[in-house]
Structure formats: structure tokens, C-alpha cells
Amino acid sequence: MPSGGAHEIPTGIPPDELRLMARVAHLYHEDGLRQAEIASRFGLSQARVSRLLKRAVDEGVVRISVLPVPGVNTGDEEALEERFGLRSAVVVDTEGDRLVADVGAAAAYHLETSLRSGQLVGISSRSTFLRSTLEQVRLRAPLQGVRVVQILGGLGDPSETEHANRLTEQMAARLGGEPVFLPTPAVTGSPESARALLQDPFVAKTVQLYDHLDVAIMGIGSVDRATITARSAGALTERDLRELMRAGAVGDACLRFFDRRGKPVRTALSERVIGVELDRLRSTPHGVCVAGGLQKAEAIRGALLAGFVDVLVTDHATARKVLAGG
């Protein structure tokens, strides 16, 4: 490849495609990974990796070395991948009012390039970042034989259950797939109510699919009074919150809580939640976490230590705080 001095970064390429192009080029030219290894790491076809490498040269991103691209945080991404054993980390330069939209756009691009026909895709509910992601997914062609399964019941009153079902239905429509609903609240009034609902044949059929998920897409929640109240739509009580705090919970995925070391936290609430368990998330081949904001850094770090996330999409400031967390 020709050498040369400073030159401008190419314009007219979507930021997320440019980010992926730069990551692939860095791994291939700087780290010496083979195209097949890069394809496996990012869930891409080898042909797509080859096209990205070619375009990186055509656009001038690659000359003798990979040029730094604005908005691409290769150092932080690689540090997260190495520290937490991730398949991939996507770190977006964004803040303020753009944070949710920009992180959602990056997550949408990851899904567009990694999801495959025939997969069983689990999706959580009640997440601002997931809603942003869903709104921005744009597949070039529908996938075949995909099912999108709801992995957490609705929250609070029946209108929240309807909202969760709608999120699942919309994601399935974006992928050209079939929705599979979990027709229950996320939190019941008692353990007995939860057990009774889980015995319903329609509910049981959905829950059985959790053992066969190919992909789980989830947000991460932090444990504080304001956040829990907003996210749970009133389904969690003050007593629930006090018990979680006493037990050392810092965050949750699908209302399954964990501490700062990633260890599961079980309280009386655990028996009232209807949704996927952390051990099932951990056995899912591809766990995509979409979350950002400094207030969530400790929760995100706990989730990474818990081992059910292999792809993290977040913002630059949060990534730095996660890495600095000890």
C-alpha cells in the first residue's frame, strides 16, 4: 500500500460502518488476525470482512498503518475486550442529548451486520437504549426463519405488558421474523402467583425457548431509587429496593440482579420475577448489552464480570469509568 503524509478521513460513509471498517483494518493489519478470525469475532461473513478491508484501502483509511478515525475508540474497545473477555466492544464518542440515539445507532448497526437467518433472538423490555436501537435497525433484506422471543414479562399494570409485547413485535417486524410473546407481568404479587403463571402452557412454551437462544439483546439497569422506580413502572416496592441494596446489588439484566463482582443477588423479589435467569443468559452464545451513562458504569462493570455479555455497546465516558473501576 502506498505511503504518504497526513490526509483527511473519508466522508460520506455512515459513522458505524466507518467504525467497523477501522476496527477490522486494525485487527488485520496491526494485530495480524486472519480474515476468518475477524469474521468469527464480529459475527460477520469472511466475504464481508474482505470487502471491508478492500474499502478501507480504497478510501484511504489504510496506508502503511491504520489511521485514527474520529469517533473510533480503538484503545478503549480493545482494553474492554481484553479485560472482560468480550468478543467485541463498541465505544461511541457521544454525550448529553445525543447519548441514547448515538449508542442505539451503533447497536443497531452491530445487529444489522451480525444477526443471521434461522436464529432465535431474545429481547428484553423497558429499556430506553433498546427502544432507540430498535428504531434504528435497517436491514438491507429481511432474514429468514428468525424468531424474536420476549425474555422478560411486562412491568406493572397491563398496559406495560402490552408495551413489552409491542417491542417484541416491532423487533420481529424489523428482522422479518416471528414474535414469541411472554404473556405475563414481569413481577407478580407473590411467589405463588409466579409459579402458577409459569405452569400455564403458553407461558411454559415461551420460557422453554430460553434454553435455545442464539442471541440475547438487553439493557442494563442500575440500583438506585429513582432509576428502579422509573424502570419498573411501580412494580418494585420500597421493601424490594431496600432488600436489594442490603444484599449489595448494583445492577440488573431482565430484573435479575448482581453485585459489583458480578455475583447473582437473590432476594424475595427473585421468586416473583418472570423472565430469563442469569445462568441462561450466560449460556447464550451471543449476549449484546446496550447501555450508557456514567450512572450505569458500576452496573455495566458488574454485568461484564457476571459473564453473560460478549458484546458491549456504550459511550466513551462510561467505557473509561468502567475500565477505571479496579
CATH of the domain at 20: 1.10.10.10
* 22, 30 contact by CB (below 8 A): no
58 and 145 co-located in one domain: no
Q: For residue 60, give its domain range.
A: 1-70
pLDDT at 230: 59
> Strand 286-290 and strand 256-259: pairing?
unpaired
81 and 127 co-located in one domain: yes
Q: If the chain, 326 residues long, is cut into consecutive pieces of 10 residues, what is the mean pLDDT of each piece?
A: 50 85 91 92 93 89 59 85 96 92 94 95 88 90 94 70 79 94 92 96 96 97 75 76 94 96 96 96 97 96 97 97 88
62 and 176 co-located in one domain: no
41 and 172 co-located in one domain: no
180 and 299 co-located in one domain: yes
Count of domains forming the chain: 2
Integer Cα distance of 133 and 185 in angstroms: 23
pLDDT at 120: 98
186 and 298 co-located in one domain: yes
pLDDT at 65: 42
pLDDT at 42: 92
Residues in the chain: 326
15 and 147 co-located in one domain: no
pLDDT at 212: 98
161 and 281 co-located in one domain: yes
35 and 180 co-located in one domain: no
50 and 85 co-located in one domain: no
pLDDT at 106: 93
Integer Cα distance of 101 and 242 in angstroms: 32
- Which of 70, 87, 110 represents a domain boundary (last residue)? 70
pLDDT at 224: 82
